[in-house]
Chains A and B, each alone.
Chain A
Amino acid sequence: MPARNTVAADPKGVDSGAHFMDGDHALAEGALAAGCRFFAGYPITPSTETAERFAERCPAVGGLFIQMEDEIASATALIGGAWGGQKVMTVTSGPGFSLMMETIGLAATTETPLVIADVQRGGPSTGLPTLTAQQDMMQARWGSHGDYRIIALVPDSPQECFDLAIEAFNLSEIYRVPVFIMTDETVGHMHEKVVIPEAEEIRVVERNWYQGPKGEYRPYRFTGRDVAPMVKAGDGHRFHITGLTHDERGYPALTAEQNDKVVRHLIEKIDSNAESIIRVEEDGIEGADVVVLSYGITSRIAIRAVQEARQAGLKVGVLRLITVWPFCEKKIRELAGKVKAIVVPEINYGQMVLEVERCAAGQCKVVSVNHCGGAVHDPEVILAAIQEAAK
């Protein structure tokens, strides 16, 4: 794993103290604390509050907010902003996320660090603008064309929106990769206590700036383990960046061999470091018969069902995904050999459950408790699934 030093956050962006705020606002605060100073956004329910918060806070923090003409422009401006030397972010919801897919591919292949939060709402299309969903999980993973990898994190509370925003920026700098915060309408609009620590307690990964001589900068290295340092436009390196398949100089190299080299690197730089990227939260997994795997707002609903099941004497464990992509393959493979069933509630027709099934590979039952957009689960439905699975 590329070892990287962290520094304390710039106190200008850190509004330390205990706040009562919603998840969307916490995302903006997390971004500011992480050192994000450029935000290009476009209004879309239920994510707009993040843009609003950033726009309100940035003039006194030293940042710039621009409302672009659409989500394509917002996301594209981020790549420009990143190569202009800033840490950059935007926020959106499903329809906007769809528009951003083109740019996400460009960010992936040019290995540009940026953060996009998707405050999910019901789809497809305009769907349910004001109502929650977790229907973009696979889109986050596969949405742009071609093979590539991204990192996606899912917060389950406003506090975690703040915390994961910082982690998202740190990961994006370490791996030069787009990082998504796949939150949802419920967490986005939920007001809770958010504690913002003092600046010196917040550890921030600075961009790895190239230190070598001018004229010798190479924007890429295709090792599959780590990434090349970055420069910013205007520093005299006269570098070139393209969305075409490229060589280490960044020049177009349109061959099958080069495409293989680039794509393998994009994938392996994440896969080979997956263990240090992945974060999950476990409770009562040891000796459990049934494990409930969930993420985001659904994990908070699932707790109620798990508590009731435990009261009824069932041995139920909880596995909450904080990092959804890369997926915790190894963990599921091991778990599947030890439990009767894995129950996967999610607010979609069954997306992450497909990954669970793939990794469980028939070693245990995998039960999808799918529930499409618009509302969180009724805990009783999850409870029923646990009881059925435990039989």
Chain B
Amino acid sequence: MFFGKLKKAHGKVIINPNWCKGCGYCVKYCPTDVLEMSKGYNAKGYHPPQVKAAADCRDCKFCELICPEFAIYVTSDKEEEQASASA
């Protein structure tokens, strides 16, 4: 089937917890629910996000776009992509 042959994009989320101010936008608006708020505190006393489902990241970069702090970005994860393509 056509769609079965489409490669799934994979991304790797990079977070700088110390720039985060805990607004939660990335967690709430991640379309594949990759992130969650951590229980821990950063240096400013906010709860930064952490990755809970890394494999689900589809590299859409919406967290990067919506983060008001420039504290999160996504890199394309080529290894993962190839692994899922061959699977």
Complex: A in contact with B (CB within 8 Å): no
Q: Which residues of A contact B (CB under 8 A)?
A: none
